[in-house]
Amino acid sequence: GARAPVRVALEPAPGGLRLTILDRGAGIDPALQDRIQEPFFTTRVTGEGLGLGLSITRGILDQIGATLAFHPRPGGGTVTVVDLPLYHDAAHPAAAPRLDDRLAG
């Protein structure tokens, strides 16, 4: 079937950037909200997913000091919010790599 549209926004936030993802899908069942980031938890049928995507994502975000939150959207769907901290190295203030430098090599 057709997929519901998704809207993505990236904006400054205190101490970093905020990535907001809005979708109009079925949303997250409130009874499952606390479990969706657990390793191997999935609502998909057997063979269509391992249930590791959100768990791995959460682990990566935790390592960089970011946060991940899910909120029900009035009228259906979910608002996903990722707050990303700005890179800061007090010992080497100009050391943050530029994206094109990292991609080059």
| pLDDT tens-digit readout, 46-102 | 777 777 778 888 889 999 999 999 898 878 888 999 999 987 666 655 555 555 555
Question: What integer pLDDT is reported at residue 99 of this predicted model?
Answer: 54
- DSSP one-letter code for 25: S
Question: What integer pLDDT is reported at residue 91 of this predicted model?
Answer: 62
In the CATH hierarchy, which fold is given to the domain comprising 6-86?
A: Heat Shock Protein 90 (3.30.565)
Who wins on pLDDT, 39 or 55? 55
Question: What integer pLDDT is reported at residue 84 of this predicted model?
Answer: 94
Question: What integer pLDDT is reported at residue 101 of this predicted model?
Answer: 54
Looking from the CA of 42 toward its CB, the CA atoms found within 13 Å total 11
Domain parsing of the chain, residue ranges: 6-86
Question: What integer pLDDT is reported at residue 94 of this predicted model?
Answer: 55
CB 56 within 8 A of CB 40: no
